[in-house]
């Protein structure tokens, strides 16, 4: 149960709306992938807001692990 709670917290704190992946994109992503995450954002509005959506397929624990790993990579790049 602790792992499920951790996963839920990671996915919830990202402030993403869970979107739908277009069928043709989903078909390409499903090939040989145990899990994938697709994050998209719209262009910013005049007041600086952006609509961000995230969709994932596969195990939620693996998706959370991928998100954390990607965040570490981005943080490392920012520090450079």
Q: CB of 60 within 8 A of CB of 11?
A: yes
pTM over 0.95: no
How many domains are contained in the chain? Answer: 1
Give the residue numbers spanning the domain of 62: 2-79
Q: How does pLDDT run along the chain (80 residues), one tens digit per residue?
A: 455 565 566 555 554 445 567 777 777 777 888 888 888 888 888 988 888 888 888 888 999 999 999 888 988 888 87
Cα separation of 32 and 78, whole Å? 31
pLDDT, residue 15, reads 47
d(CA 41, CA 43): 7
Report whether 19 contacts 51 (CB < 8 A): no
Q: What is the dihedral of CA 69, 73, 79, 80, to 10 degrees?
A: 160
């Amino acid at each position: 149960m602790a792992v499920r709670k951790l996963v839920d917290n990671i996915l919830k704190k990202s402030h993403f709306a869970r979107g739908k992946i277009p069928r043709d994109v989903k078909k390409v992503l499903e090939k040989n992938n145990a899990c994938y995450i697709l994050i998209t954002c719209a262009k910013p509005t005049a007041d600086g807001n952006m609509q961000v959506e995230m969709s994932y397929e596969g195990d939620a624990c693996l998706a959370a692990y991928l998100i954390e790993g990607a965040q570490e990579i981005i943080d490392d790049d920012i520090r450079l």
